[in-house]
Amino acid sequence: MSTFSPSALKPRHAILSGLPGAASLEILLRPFLHAGEIVDTAIRLDGIALPSLRLGELAGQRFDFPRNPQDGYIDGSLYVAGAHHPVDVDTLTFNLSRDGQLTLVAKGVYAFDVEGLDDLGTVPFTLAARLSTCAL
């Protein structure tokens, strides 16, 4: 039985990089304690079909994605408890905050049962984090 709890996965910031049509997102998570160790990890999402990496062009938009292995899925993973766990993203929403910043809302599931955390199974998530980009 795992002592890991998905409730420990709290976002702190998201970074958008890559190219339109093949973007990447790194959702940095707040460090947490697991098995007596400090864990500092992130969710990595690659192969994201977005029309732009410019935050102003993404503001107010929502994008839906199929799950792996269907065409157009986002290749996602999370390294925790000694393994890379698949992350399936269903939607990405880009919300403009009152202060003019962009907040990313990601919804999907963690597939912990693929790499050894079988007792957790598939766990749905909704994460919201401030977003920055490497786009010029």
Q: What is the largest CA-CA distance in the chain?
A: 47
Below-50 pLDDT ranges, the chain: none
pLDDT at 1: 52
Query: Is the model's pTM score more than 0.95?
Result: no
* CB distance 36 to 65 below 8 Å: no
Per-residue confidence (pLDDT) for residue 100, from 0 to 100: 87
| pLDDT of 17 | 97
Task: Give the pLDDT of residue 127.
Answer: 98
What pLDDT sits at residue 19?
95
With CA atoms as reference, report the closest residue to 2 among 113, 126, 125: 113
DSSP 36-75: TEEE--EEEEEEE--S-S-HHHHTT-EEE-PPTTSTT--E
